[in-house]
Chain A
Amino acid sequence: MAANGSPKPEPMAAKKASPDLLNSSFSFKSLKLKTKQQELLLRVSILGLVYVLAFIARLFSVLRYESMIHEFDPYFNYRTTLFLTEKGFYEFWNWFDSESWYPLGRIIGGTLYPGLMVTAALIYWTLRFLRFFVHIREVCVLTAPFFASNTTLVAYFFGKEIWDTGAGLVAAALIAICPGYISRSVAGSYDNEAVAIFALLLTFYLFVKAVKTGSLSWALGSAFGYFYMVSAWGGYVFIINLVPLYVLVLLITGRYSMRLYVAYNCMYILGMLLAMQIRFVGFQHVQSGEHMAAMGVFLLMQVFYFLDWVKHQLNDTKLFQTFLRITVTSAILVGGIALGVGTASGYISPWTGRFYSLLDPTYAKDHIPIIASVSEHQPTAWSSFMFDYHILLFLFPAGLYFCFKRLSDATIFIVMYGLTSLYFAGVMVRLILVATPAVCLISAIAVSATVKNLTSLLRTKQKVPQTGSAKGVGSSKSSSKVTLDQSQPFHKNGAIALLVGVFYLLSRYAIHCTWVTSEAYSSPSIVLAARGAHGNRIIFDDYREAYYWLRQNTPTDAKVMSWWDYGYQITAMGNRTVIVDNNTWNNTHIATVGRAMSSYEDEAYDIMRSLDVNYVLVVFGGVTGYSSDDINKFLWMVRIGGGVYPVIKEPDYLVNGEFRVDKGASPKMLNCLMYKLCYYRFGELVTEYGKPTGYDRARGVEIGNKDIKLEHLEEAYTTSNWIVRIYRVKPPTNRL
């Protein structure tokens, strides 16, 4: 080949070169895209980037710590997913868990939303089928980021549906990094919300699409989206109330149409039937007060349709008016009686406490301490709105303005979604999550509309003088023409300045989001990290140390009593039976544990004996200065315990309404079980240089009772930084 080619290299090259050139010029011509294609390419690549960005922004936690499950509830979800993948779906569905809520147990299959676990298991099985032998833990850790990425896609389509593709793209980008959403979807945060927000937005999108087109297939899609949402999260109640409310608003504003009728009826009926397949939800759709609004609106729809038909048939306004009056009154009467009878006979259950506390933020504090004790159920502070939304907080009203300016079925929906969810976000911290997609979408409309207006102003500037003058000549005085001409450069500069401003704001938003994600929302809260004196990173891995100790060095049937916060973690990581856990279904049982913790040792011993407790686990931050420990949670134990057992009285533990642990603390406080277990032999320890022994670093005081003797319990294990302390309950002494 080379020998043949060498005698006459130049002509060969020349010959070859010319067709190549021709070809390349051809291909360039054919490669040159039309504007529409360019736009498509740009859109797809932006979406692709946003998709990837949404995923990798959530991996901070894996980089900073490790690929692990975070916090409390995710451990339960992980444990059940593990069970599902090992034993199969039927075993999972019929699972009676005797390892929690001893001695009651818990019917797992009937008391959980299986959507998340089934999703993760399906991903896992698919990957295994495709010969990717990943560990189920990795699947669980990455489920939330994966669904967050999918949410960005839905947000794009939703934005496109209510405004235009530009708004869709901006919405996708905003939601990809919005801290309000990231807070519950970082890698490892394997919780129901991880898939539920995706399901929520998908349902809404499909429903809006169904209303817009009046197509059965979209309504069907929306029903399935709703089914997925019901299977994944209790927040589905928001959908089943928002959608009827929206329909009602459309009816009132005279926007009733056949499209709406088809969309709502199909979505409601099919969605309801599908949702009944979830055991935990069951017949609530027809029996619970929270779901009655949807049914009422469904009946109202039928009445509306019937009236429409009658009106069409009668062709007589006067007769129709009478008919209308009779029908509406009787319909309302029948509905009211049905509801009244249903409620009175107990067929329709009243609203639950959680639902009440949403409508009345002070309700939980007065009536259900167990709901109020959870930090994520607290009313939201302004600062956390700012923290989670940043510039979206200002863009949101602007977006609302644009929505009202171009009112349609779709924009009405997003406005309603935004306003209601924002209200709920104000009531409970964790519901910021639900409001986030709406806030992002509405803000995206603001950004997109503003930028579009400004850029069109910039672009049309060359043509403006011509058209402007033409108009000026055609319409009115010369003075106006002059002012217009003068205002042009001002407009242009103003537009440029505004655009720069918008991009500055957006870039600040991006920086803020990255910072919040990396600093605030990526901590697994199982492993605690602190900065040492020399700026080095110190890791406190005490939780896992204690749980693993339990798992390895206690009898397999040991029962562990702890405050309910740690229940899921003990069963998942420690693999031991717990008395109470984070599924707070039995308030009395939790109150019993609260009572044991706040009683004297003798009384607590009787309670523990009656519950077959072998080990007691407490979390104590006095050595490390870790503030969310059991002493700081102690008042809630007293309140919850006192709520059921009046023997426990909160004032007994307070001194002048103040909670103290030092010498000035109340005698009951200084001798209750929780105090003793936390501070046992702590009085011998010097925690900080220059401070007396027994100096509690979490509360900054020297403890009041340094000489603690335990009679019925003994120290079984204390972790290296004293964060978790485990005590063994001694068997009763021989009475002989």
Chain B
Amino acid sequence: MAARNWIFAVAVAVAVFLSLSTFSSAQDLQIVNAERRIDLSSHIVKAFLTLKVENIGKDPAADMLLAFPPTQIKNLAMVQALAVMGKKKKKTYLPLDVKPTEQPDAPNDAGYFLVSFATPLGPGETVTLEVLYILTHSLEPFPVEITQSESQLVYYHDSAVVLSPYHVKQQTTFFKTPSTRVESFTSVEPANRAGKEIKYGPYEDRAPYSYAPVIVHFENNSPFAVVEELVREIEISHWGSLQITENYRLTHGGARHKGVFSRVEYQSRRSITGSSSFNALLAVLPPRVNSVYYRDDIGNISTSHLRTGFKKSELEFEPRYPLFGGWRATFVIGYRVPLEDYLFEAPDGRRYLNFTFGCPLVETIVNKLTLKVVLPEGSKDPSAVLPFTVNQDLQVKYSYLDIVGRTVVVLQKDNVVPTHNVPFQVYYTFKPIYMLAEPLMLVSAFFFVFVTSLAYVHIDLNIVKK
């Protein structure tokens, strides 16, 4: 019954898209071959799309469009494109510029990204592109609520064919599921399943904006660790260290837990109960990290281990309780790193901080990331350089012994995934003389205390002479 409905829906959708296919913006490109591999093994959906693009027009093409259905565009965390150069053995990859764009006559609110080629594609030439896009919140738990002993099943909605404004001559799509347990998947012939892989295609000669909705219903017990909000504060002290404080609001984004939580079952039959829950998290911290703490509103949490290494440090920690679907935990991680590893002087005399963006937790989605770089007091002209767009803002923060306050560069981005963990820079000017302000203040305070006590001892305040 359900399957029949789906087939009907697919048919309607295909019809709709076919009817819209008269729309064209740059029809002088065509996709010779498209291969799409969608990795569904964690809650971050990674899609690797290999496109072989040919220019069939008369003019050289400088860029091409990537289209995404509206349901995906809002969950799209990142799109990257690489141009493959050279032949099989000596492949080199060239990163291409990708930016979101609007199309005035987009069918069904499809979203677009514009990929600019490194060199314009001449008529008759072909180029191979590797596109990686990452989707968050795209696995929909079904059933929505599960008990402790059930494992978590999710839906994934997509299309069997690549949504593209261009004609696609040949294409295949692979879905990789985390386990062999697949409840159902929409069949769009030819489609078959082998082990953890579901293959759709190959499909020949699909018109632009072809669409064939499919649903995969499968088991996914990987930790659905979603950080609803993360505020990272990086405080620069020119006295030799960076203090990083990270405030997490973590939740289990999977199927909601319902009914009892039985400790006896959780601790004695760990393999079969609570399989979708997680109780340990891993944070990758910089090397040479020190003074690490892990606490929450009501105190220190004692379950954590730190392994320091030359390339990275790993903090393995457990929330106070295991997280079942819908359960939350808030906590703070703080650490300190030596300043000389991250603060440099630019050739023009300005200083810049070079630090990693994103969230240190492994395999987590951050719904809202706010990164605050607290510059030392007296810093001027801050500017941030990032490889992607973020909301930027300036604030003032008062910390120990501050008079005018410290400038804070606030960088805010939604929907952050681990691939956003790339370096960024914050430039600012700072005069070293300001470093002396605070010691001088302390010295003068003590001086004042001693002077007043001296004065007090020597001044006779009696009204009546003794």
Contact = CB atoms under 8 A, between A and B. Distances in A.
Instruction: Select the residue from B320, B398, B399 with max chain A CB neighbours within 10 A.
Output: B320
B402 A131 contact: yes
B157 interface: no
Nearest to B293: A66
Nearest to A538: B302
Interface in A551-570: 551-553
B240 to A, nearest CB: 20
A573 B320 CA distance: 13
B260 interface: yes
A197 B320 CA distance: 37
Interface in B255-297: 259-264, 267-268, 296-297
A669 B375 CA distance: 64
A684 B267 CA distance: 12
Nearest to A728: B260
Contacts of A545: 320-321
A717 interface: yes
Interface in B167-208: none
Nearest to A547: B298
A133 B321 contact: no
Given A131-B401, A133-B399, A547-B298, A552 B263 contact: no
A501 to B, nearest CB: 41
Contacts of A684: 264, 268
Contacts of B56: none
B263 A549 contact: no
A237 to B, nearest CB: 34
A681 interface: yes
Contacts of B264: 681-682, 684-685, 718
Contact of B261 (A541, A552, A718): A718
Contacts of A547: 298
B452 interface: no
A548 B400 contact: no
Nearest to B321: A549
Contact of B401 (A132, A526, A553, A715): A132
A539 interface: yes
B195 to A, nearest CB: 37
Contact of A541 (B320, B330, B403): B320
Chain A, interface size category, equals 20 to 34
B96 interface: no
B422 to A, nearest CB: 32
A714 interface: yes
A716 interface: yes
B448 to A, nearest CB: 12
Nearest to B319: A548
A573 B321 contact: no
B321 A548 contact: yes
A681 B400 CA distance: 52
B126 to A, nearest CB: 55
B299 interface: yes
Interface string A189-217: 00000000000000000000000000000
Contacts, number: 76
B398 A133 contact: yes
Contacts of A133: 398-400
Nearest to B403: A131
A132 B441 CA distance: 13
Interface string B296-311: 1111111000000000
Contact of B328 (A553, A682, A716, A720): A553
A68 interface: yes
A552 B300 contact: no
A17 B321 CA distance: 74
Interface string A128-147: 00011100000000000000
Given A714-B260, A716-B261, A552 B329 contact: yes
Contacts of B296: 548
B301 A722 contact: no
A131 B400 contact: yes
A544 interface: yes
A553 B262 contact: no
Chain B, interface size category, equals 20 to 34
A286 B320 CA distance: 52
Contacts of A720: 263, 267, 321
A68 B299 contact: yes
Nearest to A526: B299
Contacts of B401: 131-132
A552 B402 contact: no
A715 B257 CA distance: 13
B299 A544 contact: yes
A552 B328 contact: yes
B327 interface: yes
B263 A722 contact: yes
A551 B319 CA distance: 14
Contacts of A717: 261, 263, 321
Contacts of A132: 400-401
Interface string A428-458: 0000000000000000000000000000000
Contacts of B320: 541, 544-545, 548-549
Contact of A681 (B262, B300, B329, B398): B262
Contacts of A681: 262-264
Nearest to A725: B263
Interface string A525-547: 01100000000000101001101
Contacts of B268: 684-685
Contacts of B259: 714
Instruction: Select the residue from A547, A717, A728 with max chain B CB neighbours within 10 A.
Output: A717
B408 to A, nearest CB: 14
A167 to B, nearest CB: 26
Interface string B111-145: 00000000000000000000000000000000000
Contact of B302 (A526, A541, A685, A716): A541
Instruction: Select the residue from B264, B298, B399 with max chain A CB neighbours within 10 A.
Output: B298
A68 B260 contact: no
Interface string A672-686: 000000000110110
A66 B328 contact: no
A552 B301 contact: no
Contacts of A541: 301-302, 320
A681 B262 CA distance: 9
Interface in B215-243: none
A682 B329 CA distance: 27
Contact of A539 (B262, B297, B302, B398): B302
Given A132-B400, A544-B298, A573-B298, A552 B262 contact: no
A269 to B, nearest CB: 27
B298 A552 contact: no
A117 B400 CA distance: 23
Nearest to B328: A552
A330 B72 CA distance: 96
Contacts of A722: 263
Contacts of B330: 552
Contacts of A66: 299-300
B370 to A, nearest CB: 20
Nearest to B250: A552
Contacts of A553: 326-328
B300 A715 contact: no
B120 to A, nearest CB: 55
Interface string B427-466: 0000000000000000000000000000000000000000
Nearest to A541: B302
Contacts of A549: 320-321, 327
Nearest to B261: A717
Contacts of B301: 541
Closest 8 CB pairs of A and B: A718-B263, A552-B328, A545-B320, A66-B300, A573-B298, A715-B260, A68-B299, A681-B264
Given A541-B301, A551-B297, A714-B259, 10 more contacts: A131-B401, A547-B298, A548-B297, A548-B329, A549-B321, A552-B329, A553-B326, A684-B264, A715-B262, A728-B260
10 contacts: A133-B400, A541-B302, A545-B321, A548-B321, A553-B326, A681-B264, A684-B264, A684-B268, A719-B263, A728-B260
